[in-house]
Amino acid sequence: MNHIKWKPAAIKLLMRISPKKQRERIYNQVQRLAYWPNLDADIKKLQSRAGYRLRVGDYRVIFEIDQNSHPIIIKIDEVRKRDEQTY
């Protein structure tokens, strides 16, 4: 199982999301990243910058993967509502 690290800014962004049910849904989807790459989620590699994005409804979780470490470390950078400035 991989290790998930949240940046403080990503935690702040997550805590601002309401309703609480949506926030919990996003958090649960992020926790599933611990099983990378064996998971069935809407994940795509970003083209405009390094990293990946996880789609959870109208929200996007931007993250990076350090595959050189054991276990793999997944760094959560941002949690944002999808708009033209998300990426």
In this prediction, residue 40 carries a pLDDT of: 85
Q: What is the CATH number of the domain that holds 29?
A: 3.30.2310.20
Domain count, the chain: 1
Report the distance separating Cα 22 and Cα 2, nearest Å: 24
| 32 in any annotated domain | yes
pLDDT digit string, tens, across residues 3-62: 999 999 999 999 999 999 999 999 999 999 999 888 888 999 999 889 999 999 999 999
Does 86 map to a domain?
A: no
Q: 37 lies in a domain?
A: yes
Domain of 28?
3-81
Model confidence at 84, in pLDDT bands (50, 70, 90)? low
Q: Does this model's pTM top 0.75?
A: yes
Q: Is residue 87 part of a domain?
A: no
**Of 84 and 82, more confident:** 82
Q: Can you read off the two tokens belonging to residue 32?
A: 């599933």
Quick count: other Cβ atoms within 10 Å of Cβ 62? 19
